[in-house]
Structure 1
Amino acid sequence: MTIIHTNDLHSHFEHWPKLSRYIATTRAAALARGEGVLVVDDGDAMDRVHPLSEATDGQANVDLFNAAGYDAATIGNNEGIGNPHDTLAHLYDHATFPVALANLFEADGTRPVFAKPVVYRTVAGIRVAIIGFTAPYFDSYRPNGWSVRPVADILPGLLADIRGSYDVLVVLSHLGLPTDRYLATHYPQLDVIIGGHTHHLLPTGETDQHTLLAAAGKYGEHVGVVTVDVAAHAVTAMRAATVAVADLPEEAEDAATIAGYQARGTALLAAEPVADLPQALTIDNDGPSPLLTAGLAAIAAGGHTDLAALNAGLFLGDLPAGVVTKADLHRVLPHPMHLMVTTLPGTELWRLVMEMEKNKGFLRHFHFTGMSFRGKQFGWLDYRGLTVANNRDVYVDGEPLVPNRLYRLTSLDHYLFLPFFPTLEIVGDNELLFPDFLRTVVGRWLAAQYPLK
């Protein structure tokens, strides 16, 4: 049997025409040889960085998978954390493929309607069991109304329950390569682990005793193919390969198709006006700016705090004067980030501000990617309600900071993942505010300040 697999597509639709044709031709060739075929995805297929995913709440992604004939998928953190609870709950209502997901639960402990702990498929007489796992970001799933559990709490019992019901056991693991290797070592019952999350590429796979690890990198730049030989209901051989999508043939209409995805998403978002600005709000990565000031006011209002901190690099452009639409907000703030309110005593707030001040100069031109950031550089870091004098004296709303007083500061969950502000994680009492993204909060504030005429 042949397993065609993708992972971490992140709505990179620029690769989809070539990738989907490859799926179709590879499936047809395998079927012509009399082989069974499965097409699966390992999660993070959807990413709201693309306007079509944002405008359709991921339904466009599901439609593409339906058309390509996927047989199963699991979710990544972009589907799980990047969507409000109800959006994820209904994301797969019209999917023609099942979702294998064993470690996500409703807050009351019941399984989501859309998720199956095990998906069974029989192809060419071969019984295949597919188990899916997503990365257990406990602190992010909880405020979004979900309960996510460690694999170790789920897998042993699940393996016992399904023993003898399959010929090939496949795990869709959106957990990362180190965890995949751990699973292969400690659970020899697993035949194939199709991995993702850490965007790793295993060109010819990796074998740990009996288990084959496979992964196809990121963004649809590669597609994976696993071949499994089965005799007498037992696996006899396995092989893995990846194909570079850039090397696949291009067709004349591909460019128009790709541009159409972008244009359709942008048009849908542009049809939703938000605010009417009397003048442009500009951004400057090297210092204070009107758009950063507005962003600070917006998150302070969203977090119901007097204090806020935010970096200019989050804003990928200016907002022009006139009507601002959801397309403008998405263009400027494409990041899947949520507000975070941190409560901490004055002594620790002082330490946090000192960390920010120490790193300010370095971060202004610091380039990085990942951790929900879809921009290029961190940019200028600024505050609302906080000032610093003589390098070490911190003032709150113009008054000296009081060491034993509790303060509340609004920033972003993104800052927890960065190594520059350890006080947030070490001593901060952090509340993540779901489901709104930063752009939604900014849009709401702009609508209140500059209502549509």
Structure 2
Amino acid sequence: MKETITILHTNDLHGHYEFALRQAAFIKKRKKELHAQNENVLLLDGGDHMDMSMNECLATEGYIHLDMLAATEYDAMAVGNNELLRLPKQKIRKLSSDSKVPWLLLNLEEPDGSSIGGTKETLILEKGEHLKIGLFSATDQFEDLYENKHGFRNRDTLSAIKAGVASLKENGANLIIFLSHLGYKADLEIAPQVSGEIDVIIGAHSHTVLQKPEVVSDVIIVQAGCYGQYVGELKLTVDIENKKVLNHSGHLNEISLEDECDPELKEVMEKGRLETESFLSEIIYQADDDISHEDLVRICSDSLKEFWGTDIGIMYGGGMTEGLKEGDVTKGTLLNICKSMHTPVIMTLNGEKITGLIKQSYMEEITSKKVYGSGFRPHGIPIGKIQFSGVSWDGHDDEISNILVNGEPIDLNKTYTIGTGTPFLYEEVCGYLSVEGNELIDLGKDIMIKDVLINYLKEQYNASKNKSTV
């Protein structure tokens, strides 16, 4: 007995709404065509649908994405790092519970071992008369980041996968699909270890454009790029009795901004953007004069020093794209300048390393290093020159002298606490060699650097308003 099914798949939208409007229109049209041919259809997303660097996502606390997924009628979605990393844990639990589209997550759990919020470890969907599709998802754990940030617990990914597959098969699944938010390289590595257990890996996370399916150890691997620019299409013929894929074919459908928009999703977007407009219009600060990019970076270093109560604050130029104009500064203005989604951290460095950072901040080969991933927005922005709070010195380049930390001569052997952002934990990310050897003390659980800066400026604005009314 044989059944055929067409899987439409997307991944890593990252809040690219204009493409999403067209992507949804294509999906609905293609589903209608396939149903007219009596084809079974399954619609899946590989995660990172949300992106808190997008104002609509931030303003609606992610709910615009729940509405988009429901309006497009997805059958299930993976949980990506943007759903996990950029939201407070309470919001992750709430959104995954409120979503009409199931969130799948197998390799992270609550401290008591239960599933996180409304996420499901596995899911079986029935399509056609005899096809029972077993679904699950695993996400990049970023080592122990989610354990430190949210208090979640990692499960061993491969062991969790094997246990999940066994459970699905025990419950009658005759086709097993893995929604992987691990990345293409990891998918290639894991395929030989799950051969005979998993039929299809629908990939995400690495934004890989696979124009045709790849087969590794009899596991079919697909991935549809990113940003809503493609919809993947994979057709399978399944031997129901032997639980085996007999043949497959697949390709990517390219989406263009010239394509038609989906009216239902357009309505969702218009509602969300009205909410966003109100959110962004809040006045945060009033600048008496223009504030240069360099000065704004320095103000951000002040905010991090104050937020953590550290000896020193450090901010890198790539955390924001420009300065501020004189006059009212709205939340929208700041969020458009501070797109990067970095977590504030406390780390330690000794005086010798801090001296090295000062010297390196004058080296163009370091400050011009372009940075991708790790929450940087826009991608490819230079890390930029770092600005310090609590540190002063004379001279520049190799002629640095008279370094003071909060008015006291720097002690090269002393360990200082530093408020900064996550990129400065890693030399390979930020490019500043002297961050090597740092120790992470703490990280912001439910806050980003942009929030720290906004709150800092808001406090100053409110203080000045209160002073003027006295």
TM-score (norm 1): 0.90
- Counterpart contact for 1:199–1:217, Cα < 8 Å: yes
- Counterpart contact for 2:59–2:279, Cα < 8 Å: yes
Give the superposition deviation at 1:51: 1.0
Q: Corresponding residue for 1:224?
A: 232
Structure 1 residues 312 and 282, CA gap change in structure 2 (3 angstroms): farther
Is 1:437 equivalent to 2:448 in the alignment? yes
1:141-156 matched pairs, under 5 angstroms: 141=146, 142-156=148-162
Q: 2:285 aligns with which of 276, 289, 296?
A: 276
Give the superposition deviation at 1:213: 0.3
Q: Distance in 2 between matches of 1:117 and 1:264?
A: 35
Q: Corresponding residue for 2:468?
A: none
Give the superposition deviation at 1:5: 0.6
Q: Corresponding residue for 2:306?
A: 301
Unaligned segments of structure 2, at least 5 residues: 466-470
Q: What SS does the corresponding residue of 1:382 show, helix, strand or coil?
A: strand
Structure 1 residues 23 and 326, CA gap change in structure 2 (3 angstroms): same
- Amino acid in the other structure paired with 1:82: R
Deviates more, 1:331-340 or 1:344-353: 344-353
1:211-290 matched pairs, under 5 angstroms: 211-233=219-241, 234=243, 235-246=245-256, 249-250=259-260, 260=270, 263-264=273-274, 266-273=276-283, 275-284=284-293, 288-289=294-295
Structure 1 residues 420 and 241, CA gap change in structure 2 (3 angstroms): same
Is 1:68 equivalent to 2:72 in the alignment? yes
- Counterpart contact for 2:8–2:231, Cα < 8 Å: yes
Q: Distance in 1 between matches of 2:75 and 2:263?
A: 27
Structure 1 residues 366 and 91, CA gap change in structure 2 (3 angstroms): same
Give the superposition deviation at 1:248: 7.1
Q: Corresponding residue for 1:107?
A: 111
Give the superposition deviation at 1:419: 5.0
- Counterpart contact for 2:347–2:438, Cα < 8 Å: no
Q: What SS does the corresponding residue of 2:212 show, helix, strand or coil?
A: strand
Give the superposition deviation at 1:104: 1.6
- Amino acid in the other structure paired with 2:260: E
Q: What SS does the corresponding residue of 1:96 show, helix, strand or coil?
A: coil
Q: What SS does the corresponding residue of 1:436 show, helix, strand or coil?
A: coil
Q: Corresponding residue for 2:81?
A: 77
- Counterpart contact for 1:310–1:383, Cα < 8 Å: yes
- Amino acid in the other structure paired with 1:343: T
Q: Distance in 2 between matches of 1:265 and 1:381?
A: 35
Q: Corresponding residue for 1:187?
A: 194
Structure 1 residues 280 and 3, CA gap change in structure 2 (3 angstroms): farther
Q: Distance in 2 between matches of 1:448 and 1:250?
A: 45
1:171-210 matched pairs, under 5 angstroms: 171-188=178-195, 189-210=197-218
Is 1:166 equivalent to 2:173 in the alignment? yes
Is 1:373 equivalent to 2:380 in the alignment? no
- Amino acid in the other structure paired with 1:224: G
Aligned length: 446
- Counterpart contact for 2:97–2:119, Cα < 8 Å: no
Q: 2:460 aligns with which of 443, 446, 449?
A: 449
- Amino acid in the other structure paired with 1:202: L
Q: Distance in 2 between matches of 1:371 and 1:193?
A: 24
Structure 1 residues 324 and 93, CA gap change in structure 2 (3 angstroms): farther
Q: Distance in 1 between matches of 2:314 and 2:327?
A: 27
What is the percent sequence identity of the aligned residues? Answer: 24
Is 1:324 equivalent to 2:329 in the alignment? yes
- Counterpart contact for 2:288–2:327, Cα < 8 Å: yes
Deviates more, 1:96-105 or 1:375-384: 375-384
Structure 1 residues 301 and 169, CA gap change in structure 2 (3 angstroms): same
- Counterpart contact for 1:53–1:265, Cα < 8 Å: no
Q: Deviations over 1:179-214 (max 9, x none)?
A: 101111111111000111111111001111211000
Give the superposition deviation at 1:138: 3.6
Q: What SS does the corresponding residue of 1:64 show, helix, strand or coil?
A: helix
Give the superposition deviation at 1:430: 4.2
Q: Distance in 2 between matches of 1:396 and 1:293?
A: 15
Q: Distance in 1 between matches of 2:372 and 2:163?
A: 38
Give the superposition deviation at 1:447: 1.6
Give the superposition deviation at 1:247: 8.2
Q: Distance in 1 between matches of 2:101 and 2:169?
A: 24
Q: Deviations over 1:78-112 (max 9, x none)?
A: 11001111111111333221111101212343221
Is 1:410 equivalent to 2:397 in the alignment? no
Give the superposition deviation at 1:332: 1.6
Q: Distance in 2 between matches of 1:109 and 1:421?
A: 39
Deviates more, 1:214-223 or 1:148-157: 148-157
Q: Deviations over 1:25-64 (max 9, x none)?
A: 1111222222211111111100012111010011001100
- Amino acid in the other structure paired with 1:210: D
Unaligned segments of structure 1, at least 5 residues: none
- Counterpart contact for 2:301–2:313, Cα < 8 Å: yes
- Amino acid in the other structure paired with 2:205: H
- Counterpart contact for 2:310–2:418, Cα < 8 Å: yes
- Counterpart contact for 1:266–1:327, Cα < 8 Å: no
Give the superposition deviation at 1:256: 8.1
Structure 1 residues 181 and 384, CA gap change in structure 2 (3 angstroms): same
Structure 1 residues 282 and 247, CA gap change in structure 2 (3 angstroms): closer
- Amino acid in the other structure paired with 1:184: A
Q: What SS does the corresponding residue of 2:38 show, helix, strand or coil?
A: coil
Q: Distance in 1 between matches of 2:134 and 2:169?
A: 10
Q: Distance in 1 between matches of 2:240 and 2:278?
A: 53
TM-score (norm 2): 0.87
- Counterpart contact for 1:298–1:442, Cα < 8 Å: yes
Give the superposition deviation at 1:257: 7.2
Q: What SS does the corresponding residue of 1:434 show, helix, strand or coil?
A: coil
Q: What SS does the corresponding residue of 1:202 show, helix, strand or coil?
A: coil
Q: 1:337 aligns with which of 342, 360, 382?
A: 342
